[in-house]
Amino acid sequence: MNNFDYRNPTHIVFGKDRLGELDKLVPQDAKVMVLYGGGSVKRFGTLDKVLAGLGERQVVEFAGIEPNPQFDTLMKAIEIVRAEKVDFLLAVGGGSVMDGTKFVAAAANYDGDEADILKHGFAPPPIESALPLATVATLPATGSEMNMGAVVSYQGGKFPVMHPLLFPQFSVLDPSLTFSLPPVQVANGVVDAFVHTLEQYVTLPANGHIQDRTAEGILKTLIEIGPVTLANPEDYEARATLVWAATSALNGFIGAGVPQDWTTHMIGHELTALFGIDHGQSLAIIQPSVWKLRKQKKHAKLLQYAERVWDITEGDDDQRIDAAIAKTREFFESLGVKTRLSEYGVEKSQIDSIVQALEDHGMVALSETGDLDLSISRQIIEDAYA
C-alpha cells in the first residue's frame, strides 16, 4: 500500500426528515445563498423545506445552475455573493449544483482571474480561502456531497477543481428527496457511482486489501440495488442504500493509498462537452473499451474484479476478463443506459474532434501509469463507437 493522508471533515446528516435540522447546522448569524438548478426543487417542495429550515436568517436564492455547470453562470452567482456579502453557501440539488457551488466558494474571495482556478487539474488551485458551504443532495451519483472536488464547464471543456477548502461542512442526505427523480437520472447515477469505484479499483495491485474489499462491496451492492431502486423508486431502503453507495464511492476512502485511473472520466468529459451526452452515459460508453484496450496493463485487477464481483472463475485468464467486461456492459444496458457511441447520434467522422479536444485540454498521458497517449485514446473511442 502506498503512503497516504486521509481526512474527510464533512458531517453527514443521513435519513428521513432531516431538513428541519438546518437551523442547528448553519451558523445563526450567516447570510446564506441557496443555490439550485431547475424547477424540480421548487416543484416537489424541497426548496420550501430548506427555506423553512433556515429560519429567520437572511437568504439569497440563486437558480439556474445547469447540468455540467457553466463558468459564466457561476460568475453571476459570484457577483451576487460579493455584492450581497453572502458568507455561507448551501447547494440544493445533484452533483452539478454541488460542483458549481464549490467553484463559487473557491472564487468568491479570489483576487485574480477566476478562470485561473480551472487550470490546475487535480492539483489544488492557489486559493487562500473559500466560503463555507454545505449541501442538500437530491441525486445520488457524484459523491460531491462528501469530497473536495468539482468539475466546471468552460470554453468547451470540463475542468476539475480540487482543494481541501471545498469539503462541504455538512451534507443532508435524505433518500426520500430522490424519489421523484426521472428513471434516466437514477440509472445515470448508478453508472456514475459504479465507474467512480472502478476508476479507483481496477488499476494495479497495491495490497490495499481494505480499499479493495470496500470497493467490491460497493460494486456488488450497486449491481444488486440498481435494478430494484429503478423498478421501485419509493422503496426507501433500496434508495437509501443507493444514496450511501454513491457517497461512499467517491469520499476518498477507497482511493486512499492505491493507484487511480480516471481515463474513462477524462474521455467521457469530452463526449459530454462536445455532444451533450449525459455524464453517466459517457462513462458507460467508454469504460468497456478502456478495459479491452488495456487488458494487459490491468490484467491482475481485472481477474480479481471478475472473480470477486461477478463470480467468474471458469476459463483461462482472457476468457474470464472478457466475460467480466461483457457482464459490465450488460449491467449498464440492463439499467437502460446505451453503451455504444453510435447510439447517441455521433458520426464516426467526429472521432477526430474528440481526440483533438483531449489534446487541447492536455489529456495526453492518461491512466494510473500515465502512458495512455492520444493514439490509444483514439483506439478506445473507435472501439466504443460500435
Which amino acid is it at 158? K
Distance (Å, rounded) from C-alpha 257 to C-alpha 263? 19
| Residue 110 scores a pLDDT above 90 | yes
Distance (Å, rounded) from C-alpha 333 to C-alpha 325? 13
| pLDDT for res 282 | 98
Weakest mean pLDDT among 120-124, 278-282, 316-320: 120-124
Distance (Å, rounded) from C-alpha 181 to C-alpha 221? 20
Q: Count Cβ neighbours within 10 Å for each residue of 308-339 and write b for 16 or more, e otherwise.
A: bbbebeeeeeeebbbebbebbbebbeebebeb
Q: In the chain, which segments carry CATH 3.40.50.1970? A: 11-177
Helix (H) or strand (E) holding 93: strand 88-93
Class of domain 11-177: alpha beta
Weakest mean pLDDT among 31-40, 74-83, 130-139, 192-201: 31-40
Q: Which pairs from 231-240 meet CB under 8 Å and 24+ separation? A: 233/179, 233/180, 233/181, 233/183, 233/186, 234/179, 236/16, 236/175, 236/176, 239/140, 239/175, 239/176, 239/178, 239/179, 240/14, 240/15, 240/175
Q: Which pairs from 80-85 meet CB under 8 Å and 24+ separation? A: 80/33, 81/33, 81/108, 81/131, 82/108, 84/31, 84/33, 84/60, 85/31
| Residue 38 scores a pLDDT above 90 | no
| pLDDT for res 305 | 98
Distance (Å, rounded) from C-alpha 331 to C-alpha 322? 14
Proportion of the chain above pLDDT 70, given as a percent? 100
Q: Count Cβ neighbours within 10 Å for each residue of 167-203 and write b for 16 or more, e otherwise.
A: bbbbbbbbbebbbebeeebbbbbbbbbbbbbbbbbbb
Distance (Å, rounded) from C-alpha 129 to C-alpha 110? 8
Residues 287, 199 contacting (CB under 8 angstroms): no
| pLDDT for res 39 | 81
Cell 441525486: give the residue: 139
pLDDT in tens, 188-209: 999 999 999 999 999 999 999 9
C-alpha cell at position 383? 472501439
Distance (Å, rounded) from C-alpha 16 to C-alpha 234? 13
Residues 6, 253 contacting (CB under 8 angstroms): yes
Q: Domain spanning 183-385 has what CATH number?
A: 1.20.1090.10
Band (121; pLDDT cuts 50, 70, 90):
confident
| pLDDT for res 293 | 97
Distance (Å, rounded) from C-alpha 174 to C-alpha 180? 13
Short-list 164, 145, 146, CA closest to 98: 145
pLDDT in tens, 207-238: 999 999 999 999 999 999 999 999 999 999 99
Span 26-45, average pLDDT: 93
Residue 216: how many other CB atoms lie within 10 Å? 18
Q: Is 345 left (phi over 0), alpha (psi -120 to 50) or beta?
A: left
Q: CB-side exposure of 268: number of CA atoms within 13 Å?
A: 26
Band (107; pLDDT cuts 50, 70, 90):
very high
DSSP state of 372: B
Residue 49: how many other CB atoms lie within 10 Å? 20
| Residue 122 scores a pLDDT above 90 | no
CA distances from 38 to 35, 65, 67, 69 (A): 10, 7, 9, 12
Span 270-285, average pLDDT: 96
Q: CA geometry: angle at 160 spanning 157 and 165, to 5°?
A: 150
| pLDDT for res 266 | 96
Distance (Å, rounded) from C-alpha 272 to C-alpha 27? 37
Weakest mean pLDDT among 41-55, 80-94, 182-196, 201-215: 41-55
Residue 123: how many other CB atoms lie within 10 Å? 10
Q: Rounded mean pLDDT of the chain?
A: 96
| pLDDT for res 148 | 96
| Residue 356 scores a pLDDT above 90 | yes
pLDDT in tens, 171-191: 999 999 999 999 999 999 999
| Residues paired with residue 33 on neighbouring β-strands, in sequence order | 60, 89
Size of the chain, expressed as the number of residues it contains: 386
Distance (Å, rounded) from C-alpha 386 to C-alpha 344? 11
| Residue 386 scores a pLDDT above 90 | no
Short-list 84, 88, 85, 82, CA closest to 26: 88
3-state DSSP of 273-304: HHHCCCHHHHHHHHHHHHHHHCCCCCHHHHHH
